[in-house]
């Protein structure tokens, strides 16, 4: 079980390293989307400071969506997903490995670059580190919830757009508590509540999402 | 059977509107604009109740593998979305004179908007999967994920709202709500309920017929070859 | 009974636009749903 998990994780990461375009595209998308906001809102640093955490969070959210559809789709169309299901290993563990690799490839780079974007919005060092923490806790939840949408739309026409429609409502709580923590901190409020809820959401989704995804994949393959 | 529920809905609507417009007094704070609640509150209640019932049927269909309950879930979704839309629209028309804005990011309004998105997602997923059995089961999973998330979304929106707006206006009615106002609202809620039952019964019959026709057509064409 | 006349009823104490705007759209929604069901019979 553990071996299968590591095997899939390594395979996906090696593939991503060989084909760097995925990671690079997501990163550039993140940079460009968040750099657009000052043009729309104006260069006033006080305004930018207020919207900064929100912009970074929305950017991270869009990046997560961008690569979501491919989490299972390529394996589905070349038939290797069927082998995974028939391999005898628990499908939930295999699914968790796929989701984990999706986060390592598209989520983690965004988290690492995020403080750079935050600087552009005039966020202080304290805010930046808090932003980093909330992103570290929140973006895995985005990958997890998103994979439900990706699994439900396997092989469906217009699957990428459909995935976004299905998943965006479920992203709302993550966005509220992720960006909210940084804003609350700026206002001098306590952020313990925000962080504990983010952690709770992460634990809950790690436990429950793989079950939903495994079932969705089985339905798609029937 | 649908005719019976339609009849019931019509009678209740006439009664409810009569109470709402001719018996219930003018509200001392909101004037006549409060009369919107006779459709707003029932529509909002129904939008949530239908989502619950829809998820219930979807779950039964998924676990027991019964076609009829999945079709029932399928039939409920459009009416639920319609109720959500009515609740949002009337909410905006009530909010304009009461709060001075068509849209306020009030916790309940925002949650209702997200509920509409959930309905739209459910229907979009169903519409894009061609095999009806797969559509049944995939959308059931989505409905179940939704039902787990609805409380989380509602809670987080409420948290977010209080954090950003402080002591903002809320939808709570004045405590001295006249009994005739309450009667009108409850009767209208019953009317909406009966209407939803009637419409979804007709729709489920249509879905059954369509699927059977489709299956017959498929076996016909394979017989020709 | 709190309405002096029919025009008084339609004016809704100055809130006519909001009250009737809500009721008419709600009624329209229901009519559209029923028509849609009827058409696909």
Q: Are B144 and B59 in contact (CB under 8 A)?
A: yes
Chains within contact range of chain A (3+ C-beta pairs < 8 Å): B
Is residue B157 in a domain? Answer: yes
Taking CB atoms and an 8 Å cutoff, what residues of chain C touch B74? none
Reported as a pLDDT band with limits 50, 70 and 90, residue B221 is low
Residue C17 has pLDDT above 50, yes or no: yes
Is residue B172 in a domain? Answer: no
Residue B119 has pLDDT above 70, yes or no: yes
C in contact with A (at least 3 C-beta pairs within 8 A)? no
Phi, psi for residue B219 in degrees, rounded to 5? -70, -30
CA distances from A59 to A33, A55, A147, A194, C25 (A): 6, 6, 18, 20, 37
Residue C39 has pLDDT above 60, yes or no: yes
Residue A59 has pLDDT above 70, yes or no: yes
Tell me, yes or no, if B90 comes closer than 8 A to chain C by beta carbon.
yes
Is residue B113 in a domain? Answer: yes
Query: Comparing C-alpha atoms, which of A87, A78, A72 is closest to residue A3?
Result: A87
Task: Among B35, B43, B202, select the one facing C37 at the smallest CB separation.
Answer: B202
Which one of A133-137, A188-192, B155-159 scores highest in mean pLDDT? A133-137
Residue B225 has pLDDT above 50, yes or no: no
Residue B166 has pLDDT above 60, yes or no: no
Q: Are B91 and B40 in contact (CB under 8 A)?
A: yes
Reported as a pLDDT band with limits 50, 70 and 90, residue A81 is confident
Total CB pairs under 8 A between chain A and B: 73
Residue B174 has pLDDT above 70, yes or no: no
Reported as a pLDDT band with limits 50, 70 and 90, residue B142 is very high
Residue A151 has pLDDT above 90, yes or no: yes
Q: Which residue has the higher pLDDT, B220 or A2?
A: A2
Chain C closest-CA separation from residue B147 CA (Å): 25
**CA A135, CA A209: separation in Å to the nearest integer?**
19
**CA A200, CA B158: separation in Å to the nearest integer?**
18
Per-residue pLDDT of A88-107, as tens digits, reads 888 899 999 999 998 998 88
Query: Comparing C-alpha atoms, which of B36, B123, B39 is closest to residue B79?
Result: B123
Is residue B181 in a domain? Answer: no
Q: What is the ipTM of this complex?
A: 0.87
Residue B109 has pLDDT above 80, yes or no: yes
Angle B132-165/A192-221 helices, nearest 10 degrees? 170
Answer whether A153 sits within 8 Å of B125, measured CB to CB. Answer: yes
Q: How many domains does chain B have?
A: 1
Determine the pLDDT at residue B224: 47
Residue B168 has pLDDT above 60, yes or no: no
Tell me, yes or no, if B217 comes closer than 8 A to chain A by beta carbon.
no
Domain extent, residue B44, equals 2-24+34-163+188-213
Is residue B64 in a domain? Answer: yes
Residue B222 has pLDDT above 70, yes or no: no
């Amino acid at each position: 079980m553990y071996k299968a998990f590591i095997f899939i994780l390594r395979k996906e990461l090696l593939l991503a390293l060989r084909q760097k375009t995925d990671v690079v595209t997501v990163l550039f998308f993140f940079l460009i989307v968040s750099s657009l906001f000052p043009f729309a809102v104006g260069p006033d640093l006080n305004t930018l400071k207020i919207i900064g955490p929100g912009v970074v969070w929305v950017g991270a959210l869009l990046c997560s969506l961008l690569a979501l559809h491919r989490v299972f789709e390529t394996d589905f169309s070349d038939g290797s997903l069927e082998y995974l299901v028939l391999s005898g290993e628990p499908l939930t563990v295999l699914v968790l490995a796929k989701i984990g690799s999706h986060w390592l490839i598209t989520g983690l780079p965004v988290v690492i670059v995020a403080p750079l974007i935050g600087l552009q919005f005039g966020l202080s060092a304290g805010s930046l580190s808090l932003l980093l923490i909330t992103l570290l806790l929140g973006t895995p939840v985005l990958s997890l919830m998103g994979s439900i949408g990706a699994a439900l739309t396997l092989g469906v026409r217009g699957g990428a757009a459909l995935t976004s429609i299905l998943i965006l409502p479920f992203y709302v709580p993550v966005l509220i508590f992720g960006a909210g923590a940084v804003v609350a901190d700026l206002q001098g409020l306590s952020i313990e509540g925000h962080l504990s809820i983010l952690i709770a959401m992460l634990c809950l989704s790690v436990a429950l999402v793989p079950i939903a995804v495994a079932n969705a994949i089985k339905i798609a393959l029937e | 059977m649908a005719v019976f529920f339609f009849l019931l809905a019509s009678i209740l609507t006439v009664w409810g509107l009569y109470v709402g417009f001719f018996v219930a007094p003018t509200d001392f704070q909101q004037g006549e604009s409060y009369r919107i609640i006779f459709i707003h509150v029932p529509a909002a209640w129904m939008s949530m109740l239908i989502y619950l019932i829809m998820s219930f049927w979807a779950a039964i269909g998924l676990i027991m593998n019964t076609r009829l309950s999945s079709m029932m879930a399928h039939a409920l979704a459009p009416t639920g979305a319609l109720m959500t839309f009515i609740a949002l629209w009337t909410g905006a028309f009530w909010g304009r004179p009461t709060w001075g804005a068509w849209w306020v990011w009030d916790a309940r309004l925002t949650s209702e908007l997200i509920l509409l998105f959930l309905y739209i997602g459910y229907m979009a997923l169903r519409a894009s999967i061609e095999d009806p059995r797969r559509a049944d089961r995939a959308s059931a999973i989505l409905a179940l994920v939704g039902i787990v998330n609805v409380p989380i979304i509602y809670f987080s929106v409420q948290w977010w709202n209080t954090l950003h707006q402080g002591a903002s206006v809320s939808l709570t009615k004045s405590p001295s709500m006249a009994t005739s106002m309450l009667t009108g609202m409850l009767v209208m809620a019953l009317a909406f309920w009966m209407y939803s039952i009637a419409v979804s019964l007709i729709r489920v019959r249509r879905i059954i017929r369509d699927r059977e026709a489709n299956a017959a057509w498929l076996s016909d064409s394979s017989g020709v070859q | 009974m709190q309405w002096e006349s029919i025009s008084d009823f339609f004016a809704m104490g100055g809130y006519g636009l909001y009250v009737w705007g809500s009721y008419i759209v709600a009624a329209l929604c229901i009519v559209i749903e029923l028509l849609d069901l009827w058409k696909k019979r």
